[in-house]
Chains A and B, each alone.
Chain A
Amino acid sequence: MTVDREQLLAMYRCMLKIREFETRAHDMFLTGGLPGFLHLYSGEEAVAAGVSAHLRPYDFIASTHRGHGHLIAKGGDVKLMMAEILGKSTGYCKGKGGSMHIADVSLGSLGANGVVGASLPIGTGAGLACQLRGADAVTVCYFGDGATNRGTFHESLNMAAIWDLPVIYVCENNLYGVGFCQRDHMRVCDIADRASSYGFPGVVVDGNDVVAVSEAAGEAVDRARAGGGPTLIECKTWRHYGHFVGDAAVYRDPAEHEAWLARDPILMGEALLASNGWATQAELAEMKVEVAADIQAAVDFGLSSPIPAVADLLTDVFSEGGRA
């Protein structure tokens, strides 16, 4: 195994943090305390945790509608995130973005995105910025299985290929594009096969195995930093909830759902920590208490924060600045 104790513990903690954030958001939504739409990352935590283990503060990520986990794994401030999804003025975007539009420029987050497939050209352009700046920065572009049927996928991957851009295309294949099953929405089993159309590597990993994700991402990130061009990583995974909170996901087979729940990435991480003798049950329990306290503090911050002033409606349409 390529990860050591500290690395696995860090990824595990990251997964816990995402899960706790999503669980609290889910519960608040159901009790009417949270407005709008929520697309939860629960079940897919191993992807962001495993990928971000290889990212540096100056690397970029382009995220999706299901983006909370991507930002938390990149180091996002859960207080500012919780305030944002509650529509509060203290949120990352002053309450103007909401769950689908959170960004943290200081962490290289180019934003979550409400349009499926829109992260692909945006991440590709950030990859060009990384390349032209001449440092070793890379960009991770997250998207789902459904997005790979959009034209943005084709145009972006082809552009990245001809320019050898340092972009890691991470497909979170949760097997459903909203309610449409992958076996019905495309005729290939492995989305990674599509990379062959662009002339760069495509790999399939178990997206619920944080170590497998980390190994694949590490190889792709290293190659990109060294000027070796893009990689497509397909992470096969499963969302624990429907497409959005309120979607009961009746289009999925309950037996399949149960099978995936048994392969919960957090449970798999725990099992790995235990089998290596890297953490006791008491240590894991303590970590869960710490993470829960972090998220509780975020909830408290969000709930106690002021709502935006109505005058804020009219600000931030245009940036006032320019390059002198």
Chain B
Amino acid sequence: MTKMNFGEAIAAGLMLEMERDPDVYIVGEDVATFPAFGVTRSCFEKFGPTRVRDTPISETAIVGHAVGAAAAGLRPVAEVMFMDFFGIVLDELANQAAKMHYMFGGTMKVPMVVRTASGAGIGAAAQHSQSLEAWVAHSPGLKLVMPSTPADAKGLIVAAIRDDNPVVFVEHKMLYGMQGEVPEGDYVLPLGKADVKRAGVDVTIVAWSAMVHTALAAAELLAAEGIDAEVVDLRTLVPLDTNAIMESVAKTHRLVIAHEAVKTCGFGAEIAALVADEGFDLLDAPIRRVTAPDTPVPFSPTLEAAFVPDAQKIVSAVQSLT
């Protein structure tokens, strides 16, 4: 185990794969010379400009060329600096990469990763702060990873690169500085496997990405009131570990889903529908969602803080069930 931050853990995973697989390369705006969140700087220092490639400000070509490169046998790890720019790359991602395996009858593989930074918290306002996982999850053929800890980030970026499908890897920008113990060497986690970050028996809180830590903080506040919450970190939304959700609800009989994305058609609605459909008899209370409101992300720090769900909102949601 080595102590490192979330960004360093991702870099460790990237370098692990670049070392063992010559087809892996990193590509994106300023990934070599001036990476926005610093993640790929060490990769460039180690592997140089052929395998860590700066591009013009051309998001469509960054993701679009990666689709072709992957179809032709490489394993690109493309970076879209902010998830808000997914509007620019959505054809390449959702209409091309996601569909090629299916459209071509299973004959073509598109083993590519798109890394991107999501989330509010740094005052980046409406066009640099969104959590757009629902856009990705709504396109069959894309896998979707949203880790919450440095160790998970390393194990999952490695899995994403080794996977033969297009994988979107979402890094919440408030996590980059988070420290944690990370396994050394060849450390890989399976895609589609949730992790119980805190065991409990009274209520299940399902979360992913940075919201996992808010949920854990809420669980501590609830513990002080004698409520023992279980926090299930999905880690990957596609594939979704439905068993982990159902097993936890079978134990606690209460479900709160917390996410930073806006409420309407958010991924929380999908989980709520899943549990209502397949676990109705398990529930002792209504399912609650704790989400951002249906607004753009505001700039002013006061408004931004009010936009992002906090631990108290999760606590209130849990309290409303008991």
Contact = CB atoms under 8 A, between A and B. Distances in A.
B58 A126 contact: no
A110 B72 contact: yes
Contacts of A93: 103-105, 107
Interface stretch (A24-32, A113-121, A259-267): A113-121
Given A124-B64, A152-B60, A115 B96 contact: yes
Contacts of B53: 163
Give the bracket for the number of chain B residues in contact with chain A.
Answer: 35 or more
A321 B106 CA distance: 11
A316 B70 contact: no
A111 B107 CA distance: 11
B58 A319 contact: no
B64 A92 contact: no
Interface string A121-142: 1111111111011000001000
Given A105-B108, A126-B72, A318 B58 contact: no
Give the bracket for the number of chain A residues in contact with chain B.
Answer: 35 or more
B101 A317 contact: yes
B140 interface: yes
User: Mostly helix, strand, loop or mixed at chain B's interface?
Assistant: mixed
Nearest to B21: A323
Interface stretch (A34-42, A94-102, A180-188): A94-102
B66 interface: yes
A285 interface: no
Contacts of A103: 100, 103-104, 107-108
A182 B206 CA distance: 54
B50 interface: yes
B76 interface: yes
A163 B65 CA distance: 12
A159 interface: yes
A155 B102 contact: no
Interface in B18-73: 21, 25, 50, 53, 55-56, 58, 60-61, 63-73
Nearest to A312: B105
A96 B103 CA distance: 5
A103 B55 CA distance: 28
A158 interface: yes
Nearest to A125: B68
A128 B75 CA distance: 12
Interface of B: 21, 25, 50, 53, 55-56, 58, 60-61, 63-76, 91-92, 95-96, 100-109, 111, 140-141, 143, 161-165
Given A110-B72, A128-B74, A322-B163, 17 more contacts: A96-B103, A101-B104, A104-B107, A108-B72, A110-B108, A118-B96, A124-B64, A124-B68, A125-B65, A125-B67, A126-B69, A126-B72, A128-B65, A139-B72, A317-B140, A318-B165, A323-B75
